[in-house]
Amino acid sequence: MKKIVLIIGTRPELIKIYPLINKMKQSGFNNYLIVNSGQHQEMLTPFFDFFSIKPDYNLDIMSPGQSLADSLAKAVSQLESLLITIRKEGHVPSVLMAQGDTTTVMATALVAFYNRVRFFHLEAGLRSDNLLHPFPEELNRRVASITADFHYAPTRQAIANLKSEKIPSEKIMMAGNTVVDAIELIRNSPQFNKVTFSDLRVQQAVDNGNKNVLITCHRRENHLHLQHIISAVEQIAAKAKNCMFIWPVHANPMVKDIVIASGLQNLTNMIICEPLNYLELLKVMSTCCKILTDSGGIQEEAPSFRVPVLVMRETTERPEAIEKGYAVLVGNDSTKMIDAFMNFNPVFPMDAENPFGDGKASDRIVDHIKMQL
């Protein structure tokens, strides 16, 4: 039987593919297989449990201290072997599908191309036009676009980027970003109003109202500048004593060890905590007055909660929130970060919509997938 093979490697990938799986289940469509590449194994496993999703296949492409080249090599090798296994078990992998711009995505695109299997790219067309920002994601998504047989673009800007690279219009769909679908599914669920945090400090901050500030930082290009970011956050927290700053620290030791060893721990309005699950993260976001982040996903999610974002990056492949005036680029420059925190106060219209999607992307994509098998 022909199958679409959904290949997932990181937490953001699962979050954005989850609405598709949910839609497939609801519609009785079961011609799909789910693969966990294991790129972010520790962070990803709880999310599979949270979304009640059980992968059909689990790979293991990561090992301690592994270089990007080693990760890519292992991912390509294991995905190649996976195709052989899938065929031996009587399935026909008609389409390989992956989301975004990670090593898992580029490996999927290459393996699909080498094996003459169609590759469908979810969240296609994002560009920063700088191969070093973000690194290595800009390269990953460009390779994915070169090989993709179909592109699910989240925005008009993404479509324009693809067309400028001579990709035919008939291979592109204006789908919207499925993260907006995920947010709508979650915050309309009974569980969203019943979120409890194992960290009682975070629970108290969420219960106390809407003066919270979320901080997340994990990108490679910020690793060498983390001390500048910490210094800026210390100064911001000193100026905004009426706010509670919540920093769920990324598991990467290059980030975690430095943040934990810093003076941030001594601030009375600072909470350094373990990574939050997605439900917890959205709940915190819903109580925030501002967010400081280098995350691509949070740039897309924050407009759904009408929260301004200070983007700690030199450039962004998600310009839509900036163009709307909901976000601002501050890089890792302490002066820019402090100035923006104090003075960037956009007003969201009452009828403000998320510029990245309307919550119906999964409907469009699944309808298209059904016609492809």
Sheet holding 2-8, edge to edge: 57-58, 32-36, 2-8, 92-99, 118-122, 150-153, 172-174
Catalytic residue among 142, 225, 228, 250: 250
Q: Which residue among the candidates 11, 13, 127, 137 is catalytic per the annotation?
A: 137
Report the C-alpha gap between 297 and 85 in whole angstroms: 33
Could you tell me if 75 and 39 are in contact, meaning their C-beta atoms sit under 8 angstroms apart? yes
| End-to-end Cα, the chain, rounded Å | 9
Q: Is 228 one of the annotated active-site residues of the chain?
A: no
Q: In 3D, which of 28, 66, 297, 264 has the Cα closest to residue 177?
A: 297
Tell me if residue 250 is catalytic: yes
Of the candidates 13, 101, 234, 300, the residue annotated as catalytic is: 101
Is 101 among the residues known to form the active site? yes
| Catalytically annotated residue among 11, 121, 123, 181 | 123
Of 220, 225, 306, 368, catalytic: 220
Active-site position among 118, 133, 218, 364 = 218
Question: Could you give the residue numbers annotated as active site?
Answer: 101, 123, 137, 218, 220, 250
